[in-house]
């Protein structure tokens, strides 16, 4: 069985490839959205492009999109565009892959308008933030930080088995390394971990 990479930027890799803005690549499966860093004055045409590619059957999820306190884009505009993408995801019944930097507390109010699963990708925050998100119904996706960050490893250990994914994002590492670390933390075999991720994927795609 393969190692499903929940969120990545490596064209050709197995998993959900995140399309670059205005790309016409046609990966086997992908996510598409407007990243906060890509919001410019011409956000309308970027959003139109994302909306049109989001209709394609190979598009499994909307994103990455969300809130980023470190980019110089007005936070009200970020929130408005995040809301529009949640409404799009509701309409298409596709989950959302969330990019969030230092705005995790603010994510909670967006959960209330979402009728689809919300997955916070690249999660590497402390236990209390994880608990708040998990209690609100979010899923968490863990990447490279899991390999070395001991406190994140304990967050991952406590994360319910039906609420997480594994990813490489932009890192130049092999996804199997993250599966190996995750399996050992959860005291599972690699194939049990692969099976679990597959089940979790089915959960969010069927919106159960
Ligand atoms: Zn990414």
CA of 123 to the centre of ligand 1 (A): 11
Is the pLDDT at 208 greater than 90? The verdict is: no
What are the sequence ranges of the domains in the chain?
Answer: 5-205
Per-residue confidence band for 1, with pLDDT thresholds at 50, 70 and 90: low
pLDDT at 131: 97
pLDDT (tens digit per residue) in 112-165: 999 999 999 999 999 999 999 999 999 999 999 999 999 999 999 999 999 999
pLDDT at 44: 96
Comparing CA positions, the residue from 27, 37, 107 lying closest to residue 61 is: 27
pLDDT at 207: 81
CA of 169 to the centre of ligand 1 (A): 5
CA of 69 to the centre of ligand 1 (A): 16
Is the pLDDT at 82 greater than 70? The verdict is: yes
CA of 178 to the centre of ligand 1 (A): 16
Cβ proximity of 65 and 79 under 8 Å = no
CA of 128 to the centre of ligand 1 (A): 23
Q: Residue 140 is encoded by which pair of tokens?
A: 């968490």
Task: Average the pLDDT over 3-25 and give the result.
Answer: 96
d(CA 133, CA 164): 12
Percent of the chain at pLDDT above 90?
98
d(CA 83, CA 106): 12
d(CA 105, CA 128): 11
CA of 141 to the centre of ligand 1 (A): 11
CA of 98 to the centre of ligand 1 (A): 9
CATH architecture of the domain formed by 5-205:
Alpha-Beta Barrel (3.20)
pLDDT (tens digit per residue) in 24-39: 999 999 999 999 999 9
Q: Count of CB atoms within 10 A of residue 205's CB?
A: 15
Q: How many residues belong to the chain? A: 208
pLDDT (tens digit per residue) in 39-50: 999 999 999 999
Is the pLDDT at 69 greater than 80? The verdict is: yes
Protein residues placing their CB within 5 Å of the ion ligand 1: 169
pLDDT (tens digit per residue) in 150-192: 999 999 999 999 999 999 999 999 999 999 999 999 999 999 9
Strands 118-120, 139-142: pairing kind: parallel
């Amino acid at each position: 069985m393969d190692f499903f990479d929940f969120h990545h930027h490596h064209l050709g890799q197995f998993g959900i490839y995140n399309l670059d803005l205005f790309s016409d690549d046609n990966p086997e499966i992908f996510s598409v959205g407007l990243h906060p860093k890509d919001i410019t004055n011409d956000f309308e045409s970027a959003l139109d492009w994302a909306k049109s590619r989001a209709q394609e059957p190979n598009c499994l999820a909307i994103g990455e999109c969300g809130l980023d306190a470190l980019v110089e884009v007005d936070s009200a505009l970020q929130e408005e565009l995040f809301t529009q993408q949640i409404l799009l995801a509701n309409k298409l019944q596709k989950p959302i892959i969330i990019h969030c930097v230092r705005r995790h507390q603010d994510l909670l109010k967006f959960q209330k308008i979402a009728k689809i699963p919300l997955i916070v990708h690249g999660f590497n925050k402390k236990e209390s933030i994880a608990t708040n998100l998990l209690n609100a119904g979010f899923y968490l996706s863990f990447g490279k930080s899991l390999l070395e960050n001991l406190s994140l490893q304990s967050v991952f250990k406590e994360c319910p088995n039906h609420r997480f994914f594994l990813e490489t994002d932009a890192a130049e590492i092999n996804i199997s390394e993250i599966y190996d670390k995750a399996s050992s933390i959860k005291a599972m075999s690699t194939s049990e971990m692969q099976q679990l991720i597959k089940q979790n994927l089915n959960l969010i795609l069927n919106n159960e």
